[in-house]
Amino acid sequence: MVDLYDGNLNAKQISAIEKEGNILLVACPGSGKTRTLAYKIAFELSKLTSKKKFILAITYTNRAANEIEDRVLELGVNTEQLWIGTIHSFCLEWIIKPFSGSHESLRYGYEVIDSYDSDSILKEVCQDIKYVNPFVCNYYYKTDGIHIQCDDYRRKGVILALEKYHQILSDSKCINFEQILYFSYQILERSDAICKVLANLFSNFLIDEYQDTKEIQYGILSKIFLQSNHKIENFIVGDPNQAILASLGGYAISIDELSYKFETKFTQMDLSSNYRSSESIVQFFSKFKVFESPIIAKGKYKKFPSEISYNGNVSKERLIDELVRLIKLSVETHGVEPSEICIVAPWWIHLASITRRLVAELPDYSFDGPGLTPFAHDKDNFWYKLTRIVLSKPSPRRFHRRIRWAQEVITDLISYGFDVNHISAKSLLRLSNSISSDKLNGIDYLKHIFEQMFEVFGIKFQDNEHLYDLYEIFFNGSKERISRISSEDSEYKATISNFEKVFEEREGITISSIHGVKGAEFDVVIAFGLLEGMVPNNNEKSPRESAQKLLYVVASRARKYLYLISEIERYDYKGTEYLPTNELRYIDSSSYTSYLT
């Protein structure tokens, strides 16, 4: 049994973990949510008495899943009976693959397309429709069907574009990520027997980041839960003040709605101690709370004399100079390590050029900035799984993770009908570490490595139609991505070194979107682009609330220093200058150590 009293948990965390029944845990920033989840999973795994039961943990990203599972393994608990990953991966593995024959859109075969291919199809469709482009074709599914997010002016055109888009998917026997959820829900809705099969497999559901979870995801899990005769226990964790994915269908479900959907009682608990930030930073980001919940600074930086500055007077052209100044101030004056600095903005489109300019201005610093990867992060494509092993460098920190990846590859080979009794996870990793190639081009390198590996395996993957189709999809998709990257960045080369960077352990100054930085923390956070139309986005139904949540996320990432920038002379496509985010202007200037407008 995992030791909850080893000194790593506080009383509230222990109470939430030990509490039986269905729990909704509201956890403020820096409250040890991830640690609590890891201990809860380890605790429930330790209690399992049947080898036929699994713990199901749903995370928002694969990165979060890897981090949590690594923590569980560090607690000395076997994770063979844990399934952890995104809701899309869960639906593919546990619902669509085994039960696709029960759905008319899947029974004659299907191919899951990634966001790149999906965007390409939508872009082509939109070319023939006035005033419509892929950026305004926002939609998601709820249990009652498709919901379109756009203004009334474009609505008719968007509906037409999406109808054509979905018809192309249907004709090509393709499904996208949104359809994975909708078709999974339909499969469960139409068959209590399938729900019952799944209900008998799980003892616990754990959901991370509940504030960004979609209504249809609760629909999927509640269908399974209800067939368990309420025997499955739910542990749902998140922070309603960080619900920033409303445009994608995510929302902070209330405890009453949760109880209604699952037809059972939920107990609400909270983690209100912030161990991350200084007291002044906690007080600052608390000003943006939409849902009232207590947040108390209790960490070692509680009394740190933080700097919180606002600059609404720097021009777009001088922005790079201001970022360089703040980076140098942080490193050279405050003694902050570069890896503890994060530059954040609302849109990825602004970050790519900023990254290139910062690299040029600060050649002695390293940056972990945005960049298009040369292949899709398709966690369910066999060749992506194998690429992940081949290109990730061995290290003690990654050992358990790479063992898990190797086991997934072996499991897939078995499912394709290959005899792999002579291959273990460790022998697969040893083979991957020992094989080399003199090919400099990334695609050529991977193909050469794969050929050598399968020769050692004694397997002709070309003879398996499905596996070879996935091979073609993976490499054709890579060629298309490389072509797009090259068109946007003439200096980009598809070398193996650029391929390997995808799986390198991150270092240097982080550059990220607001959405991408969720869950992270840094000594220094520098945010720009804090402008009306960006924070909040013009498409938001509740712009003030959206801005509050985005600013809450930005500010709560910082431990010690927070620098906020609303640059001037940045214009939209109509030539209208963006104005500073109203929510920042509403705050009294005394809240800042430096205030420039």
| Secondary structure class of 67 (helix, strand, coil) | helix
pLDDT (average), residues 470-485: 84
pLDDT tens, position by position, 500-524: 877 776 679 999 999 888 889 999 9
CA proximity to 114, closest of 376, 373, 374: 376
Distance CA 593, CA 1 (A): 49
The percentage of residues in the chain with a pLDDT greater than 70, rounded to a whole number, is 97
pLDDT (average), residues 577-585: 92
| 118 Cβ contact list (under 8 Å, min separation 6) | 176, 177
Q: Which of 283-287, 307-311, 397-401 has the lowest mean pLDDT?
A: 397-401
Tokens 């596996």: give the residue.
Answer: 467
Consecutive H or E run containing 308: strand 307-311
Distance CA 23, CA 262 (A): 12
Specify the pTM: 0.85
Confidence of residue 313 (pLDDT cuts 50, 70, 90): very high
Residue 488 has pLDDT above 70, yes or no: no
CA proximity to 339, closest of 501, 511, 504: 511
Confidence of residue 247 (pLDDT cuts 50, 70, 90): confident
CA proximity to 318, closest of 577, 570, 576: 570
Confidence of residue 150 (pLDDT cuts 50, 70, 90): confident
| 572 Cβ contact list (under 8 Å, min separation 6) | 533, 578
Residue 371 has pLDDT above 60, yes or no: no
How many CB atoms sit inside 10 A of residue 571's CB? 10
Beta bridge partners of 138: 149
Confidence of residue 377 (pLDDT cuts 50, 70, 90): low
How many CB atoms sit inside 10 A of residue 575's CB? 6
Is residue 216 within 8 Å of residue 187, measured between CB atoms? no
Distance CA 91, CA 83 (A): 12
Radius of gyration for the alpha carbons in the chain, expressed in angstroms and rounded: 25
Length of the chain: 597
pLDDT (average), residues 50-66: 92
Domains annotated on the chain, with CATH: 11-95+183-271 (3.40.50.300), 114-172 (no CATH), 279-366+507-596 (3.40.50.300), 382-502 (no CATH)
How many CB atoms sit inside 10 A of residue 487's CB? 9
Kindly report whether the peptide bond that precedes residue 370 is cis, defined as omega within 30 degrees of 0. Answer: no
